[in-house]
Amino acid sequence: MRTVSAFLALLLALLGANSLFVVNEGQTALLLQFGRIVGKDYRPGIHFKLPFMQQALRFDQRVLGLDAQPERYFTSEKKSVIVDFYVKWRIDDVTRYYGASAGEELQANQRLAPIIKDALRFEFNAKPLHEIIAGSRSDITQHVRDQANKATRASLGIEVVDVRIKRIDLPDEVSDSVFERMRAERKKVANELRSTGQEAAERIKADADRQRVVLLAEATAKAQQVRGEGDAKAAETYAQAYGRDAEFYAFYRSLEAYRSAFGAGNGVLLLDPKSEFFRYFDASK
């Protein structure tokens, strides 16, 4: 009797365990009955199923990743580049995902990789190398993501969340040609800047020379004007002085002549002592 009770208890425990399944946070589930889908999109929590007849398959609904091997592509000029990229994706339709990959992430990545590579090939084939190097990666990845989603949602039941290009390498022969072209472009820009600078320098120098000539001419004219006015004022002063006292004026002019003749201290004049030049040296007068 005890054996029968223990057996019934064990059987009830097995039936209870096989009648429940748990979906964790970040998961969804499919319910299969003899390989046929009879339930889908189960939310996190505890759910019931028919014991031994139905099977619950759980799937991760978080963002998953594909880190592919670097791939060689050709630009619109038929120059090759080596592109290293990765993809972020998640399950969009669990039923289609299960039918396409049997619920295996590795198999889903294997089917996703060619779709992404074809989209990348199309984008790189449509762009010249200088645009790719100059920084059009965001446009490329945006277009790749949009193109890939059209295919993956219908065929794989997954959504491509993001596509990122980690790096773009150039083969040696392409690197050399790109370097030479960039050096030629930089040299051209440098020559243009140098030519523009020389032209500006010549223009500034010519303007400075013109201003110098104008300033010197204006200063000379001003000096001559001031000198003329001074001479006129001096002549007027001399005339007024001569008019007031002719003898004093003659004496003053003689003193100036003496200062000019003997101011250096080593001058020699050969003159008659009784000449008019020495009239004021004669004490008798």
For residue 159, what is the domain's CATH number?
3.30.479.30
**List of residues 6+ apart from 100 with CB closer than 8 A:** 108, 111, 155, 156, 157
Q: Which amino acid is at 95?
A: T
Is residue 134, in this structure, part of any structural domain at all?
yes
Angle at which helix 105-125 crosses helix 94-101, to 10 degrees, equals 90
Is residue 253, in this structure, part of any structural domain at all?
yes
Cα separation, 235 vs 246, whole angstroms: 14
Residue-wise pLDDT for 228-247, tens only, equals 888 788 777 767 766 666 66
Tell me: do 98 and 138 sit in the same domain. Answer: yes
Is residue 175, in this structure, part of any structural domain at all?
no
Cα separation, 159 vs 2, whole angstroms: 57
Residue-wise pLDDT for 60-73, tens only, equals 888 998 988 888 88
The residue range of the domain holding 251 is 247-285
Indicate the pTM of the whole model.
0.54
Cα separation, 237 vs 33, whole angstroms: 135
Residue 285 is predicted with a pLDDT of 47
Is residue 68, in this structure, part of any structural domain at all?
yes
Cα separation, 250 vs 244, whole angstroms: 12
Cα separation, 139 vs 123, whole angstroms: 9
Residue that is last in its domain, among 34, 60, 86: 60
Tell me: do 202 and 260 sit in the same domain. Answer: no
Is residue 227, in this structure, part of any structural domain at all?
no
Instruction: Spell out, as residue ranges, where the chain has pLDDT lower than 50.
Output: 285
Element of type H or E holding 166: strand 158-169
Is residue 206, in this structure, part of any structural domain at all?
yes
Residue that is last in its domain, among 113, 146, 170: 170
Is residue 241, in this structure, part of any structural domain at all?
no
Is residue 274, in this structure, part of any structural domain at all?
yes
**Token reading at 236:** 């007027």
Tell me: do 41 and 68 sit in the same domain. Answer: no
Q: Name the domain count of the chain.
A: 4
Cα separation, 182 vs 174, whole angstroms: 12
- Nearest residue to 127 (alpha-carbon basis) of 75, 83, 80: 75
